[in-house]
C-alpha cells in the first residue's frame, strides 16, 4: 500500500495541492481557524440562498414566520462547526475519518451516498450556470440553439474543473478574494429591493405543521447539508488550534451570510412571488439595467460554491476506495456532473428531480451526522491516522471491516427519518398523524444517536496518544 505519510508535496500553503486523502503532517498545517471563516463567507454569499429564502415564503408563511424559521434553521450551522473539528485531529478528509465509525468496508456505502449528494449539488449549480448563460445570450439578442446549449454545458464543466483541480489552498484563497464583491452585490440587491417590500403580503400565514415542514427544508439547505464537507477543509488547520475558535469562525462564516441572504429572498418574495427561480424570476425584483451584472456575478457565485462540492466529491471517490489520484477523481466527477447537467437542462423534470434529491439528503445525512459526532466523542476526540488508511486490520477493522453498531444505527435512523418525513414524493405515517409536520431530521438524528451510543459505548476505543500523534 502507498505510504500516505510520505507523499511528496508542494510547499505548504502553495497554490497547487498534491495530496488527496493523505495524512497532512503538522508541518503542512498552514491554515488558521479564521481562514475557514473567509472560505465559507465566499461560498455562501450566493444567489442560491436568496432563492432558499423565497422558497420559504412560497409555503404560505407570513414574513415574520419566515424570519423565525430562517433564524432557527440556520442554528444548524453549529453542526458544521462540530463536524469541522475532526480534521485537525485526524489530518485527513471526512470520509476517511468516517472509517473509524463504520469500518473501512462499512464506510463505503456512506461514501457513495456522499458522492451522490455532492454530484447532485454540483449538477444543480452547473444547470443554473447554463441557464444564466442562456439568459445572458438572450439579453444580447442571441438565440441559443441545442448545439449552443451543449457548448455552454461543456464550457461550464471545463471552467468548473479548474479551481478544485488546483486544490485546497487555491479554493480558500479564491473564495476569500470573492467575499468582498459578493458582499457588495448583496448590498446592491438589498438597496434596490428595500422600497418595494410588502411585509404584510400574506395575512394569515401557515399552521405549525407547515412551519415544521419548512424548517426541515431550511436545516437541510443550511448547516445539515454541509456537514459532510467540513473536515475536507479543516484538515489543514493546526492540531493545536482552539476548538472553540474553529466552531465560532465556521458558524459565523456560514450562518451570517445564509441568514442575511435568506431574509432578503423572503423579503423579495413579498413583491415578486417568482423569486424562487434565480434566473427567470428573481431578476424581476431589480431594474432592467441590473440584469446583466446580476447574471454575471451569479455565474461566478455558482462556480464558487460548486468548487467546494467538486473538491469534496473528488476526495470522497478516493475514500470510497477507487484507485484514483485526486486530480483524476475531480476530472471523472466533472464529466459525470456535465452529463447529468445536460439531462437536467434538456428535460422538463428538473424541479421533480431536485425534490427527490432533497428527500435523499434528509434521510441519510441526519443519521450519519449523529453517528459521526457520537463516535468522535466516544473515542475521546482521538484517532490513529495510520489505522484510518489501512485497507485491512488495525484499530478500525472491527468485523471484516464493518462496524455493525454504526450500520444498524444508520439504517434505524434512516427508517425513523422516513417515518416522519413530508414531501411531494412520500409522506411518512408520523407526519400524516401529526397533520403534515416534518420531524424527519429530528427523528433520524435522535434515533441514530441513541442506538449508536447504546451499541458502541463499550466497544469503541480511543487511539493511544502515541498512535494519534504518530506521523
Q: Read off the C-alpha cell for 346.
A: 434538456
pLDDT of residue 471: 43
Please indicate, yes or no, if residue 305 is contained in any of the structural domains.
Answer: yes
Residues β-bridged to residue 402:
399
Contact between 269 and 263 under an 8 Å Cβ cutoff? The reply is no
Tell me the per-residue pLDDT of 308-349, one tens digit each, with 9 for 90 and over.
Answer: 888 899 889 989 888 888 778 888 888 998 898 888 778 766
Tell me the per-residue pLDDT of 220-279, one tens digit each, with 9 for 90 and over.
Answer: 989 999 999 999 999 999 999 999 999 999 999 999 999 999 999 999 999 999 888 888
Q: Read off the C-alpha cell for 23.
A: 495524512
DSSP state of 217: H
Please indicate, yes or no, if residue 446 is contained in any of the structural domains.
Answer: no
Please tell me the total count of domains within the chain. Answer: 1
Contact between 90 and 234 under an 8 Å Cβ cutoff? The reply is no
What domain range includes position 146?
Answer: 26-352
Q: What is the largest CA-CA distance in the chain?
A: 68
Please indicate, yes or no, if residue 346 is contained in any of the structural domains.
Answer: yes
pLDDT of residue 351: 53
Q: Check whether 358 has a pLDDT greater than 80.
A: no
Please indicate, yes or no, if residue 416 is contained in any of the structural domains.
Answer: no
Please indicate, yes or no, if residue 409 is contained in any of the structural domains.
Answer: no
Model pTM score: 0.89
The sign of the dihedral angle between the CA atoms of 127, 132, 133, 139 is positive
Please indicate, yes or no, if residue 447 is contained in any of the structural domains.
Answer: no
Please indicate, yes or no, if residue 439 is contained in any of the structural domains.
Answer: no
pLDDT of residue 6: 43
* Banded pLDDT at 2 (limits 50, 70, 90): very low
Contact between 362 and 217 under an 8 Å Cβ cutoff? The reply is no
CATH of residue 225's domain is 1.10.4160.10
Please indicate, yes or no, if residue 57 is contained in any of the structural domains.
Answer: yes
In this structure, of 295-304, 320-329, 383-392, the range with the lowest mean pLDDT score is 320-329
In this structure, of 115-124, 306-315, 349-358, the range with the lowest mean pLDDT score is 349-358
Amino acid at each position: 500500500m502507498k505510504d500516505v505519510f510520505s507523499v511528496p508535496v508542494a510547499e505548504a500553503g502553495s497554490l497547487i495541492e498534491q495530496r488527496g486523502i493523505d495524512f497532512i503532517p503538522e508541518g503542512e498545517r498552514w491554515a488558521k481557524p479564521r481562514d475557514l471563516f473567509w472560505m465559507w463567507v465566499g461560498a455562501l454569499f450566493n444567489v442560491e440562498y436568496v432563492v432558499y429564502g423565497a422558497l420559504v415564503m412560497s409555503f404560505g408563511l407570513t414574513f415574520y414566520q419566515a424570519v423565525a424559521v430562517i433564524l432557527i434553521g440556520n442554528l444548524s450551522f453549529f453542526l458544521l462547526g462540530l463536524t469541522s473539528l475532526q480534521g485537525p485531529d485526524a489530518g485527513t478528509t471526512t470520509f476517511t475519518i468516517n472509517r473509524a465509525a463504520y469500518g473501512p468496508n462499512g464506510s463505503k456505502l456512506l461514501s457513495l451516498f456522499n458522492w451522490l449528494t455532492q454530484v447532485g449539488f454540483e449538477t444543480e449549480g452547473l444547470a443554473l450556470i447554463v441557464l444564466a448563460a442562456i439568459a445572458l445570450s438572450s439579453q444580447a439578442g442571441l438565440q441559443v440553439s441545442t448545439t449552443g446549449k451543449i457548448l455552454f454545458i461543456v464550457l461550464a464543466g471545463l471552467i468548473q474543473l479548474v479551481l478544485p483541480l488546483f486544490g485546497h489552498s487555491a479554493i480558500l484563497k479564491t473564495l476569500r478574494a470573492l467575499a468582498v464583491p459578493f458582499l457588495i452585490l448583496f448590498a446592491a440587491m438589498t438597496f434596490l429591493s428595500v422600497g418595494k417590500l410588502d411585509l404584510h403580503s400574506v395575512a394569515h400565514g401557515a399552521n405549525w405543521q407547515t412551519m415544521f415542514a419548512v424548517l426541515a427544508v431550511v436545516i437541510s439547505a443550511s448547516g445539515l447539508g454541509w456537514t459532510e464537507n467540513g473536515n475536507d477543509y479543516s484538515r489543514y488547520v493546526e492540531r493545536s488550534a482552539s476548538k472553540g475558535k474553529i466552531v465560532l469562525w465556521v458558524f459565523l462564516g456560514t450562518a451570517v451570510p445564509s441568514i442575511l441572504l435568506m431574509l432578503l429572498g423572503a423579503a423579495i418574495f413579498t413583491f415578486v412571488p417568482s423569486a424562487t427561480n434565480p434566473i427567470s424570476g428573481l431578476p424581476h425584483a431589480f431594474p432592467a439595467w441590473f440584469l446583466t451584472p446580476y447574471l454575471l456575478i451569479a455565474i461566478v457565485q455558482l462556480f464558487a460554491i460548486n468548487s467546494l462540492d467538486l473538491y469534496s466529491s473528488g476526495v470522497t471517490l478516493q475514500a470510497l476506495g477507487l484507485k484514483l489520484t485526486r486530480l483524476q477523481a475531480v476530472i471523472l466527477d466533472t464529466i459525470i456532473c456535465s452529463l447529468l447537467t445536460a439531462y437536467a437542462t434538456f428535460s422538463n423534470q428538473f424541479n421533480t428531480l431536485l425534490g427527490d434529491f432533497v428527500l435523499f439528503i434528509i434521510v441519510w445525512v441526519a443519521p450519519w451526522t449523529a453517528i459521526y459526532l457520537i463516535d468522535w466523542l466516544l473515542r475521546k476526540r482521538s484517532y490513529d491516522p495510520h489505522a484510518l488508511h489501512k485497507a485491512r486490520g488495525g484499530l478500525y477493522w472491527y468485523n471484516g471491516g464493518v462496524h455493525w453498531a454504526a450500520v444498524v444505527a444508520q439504517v434505524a435512523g434512516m427508517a425513523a427519518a422516513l417515518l416522519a418525513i413530508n414531501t411531494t414524493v412520500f409522506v411518512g405515517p408520523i407526519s400524516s398523524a401529526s397533520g403534515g409536520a416534518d420531524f424527519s431530521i429530528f427523528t433520524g438524528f435522535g434515533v441514530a444517536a441513541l442506538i449508536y451510543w447504546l451499541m458502541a459505548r463499550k466497544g469503541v476505543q480511543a487511539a493511544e496518544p502515541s498512535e494519534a500523534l504518530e506521523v
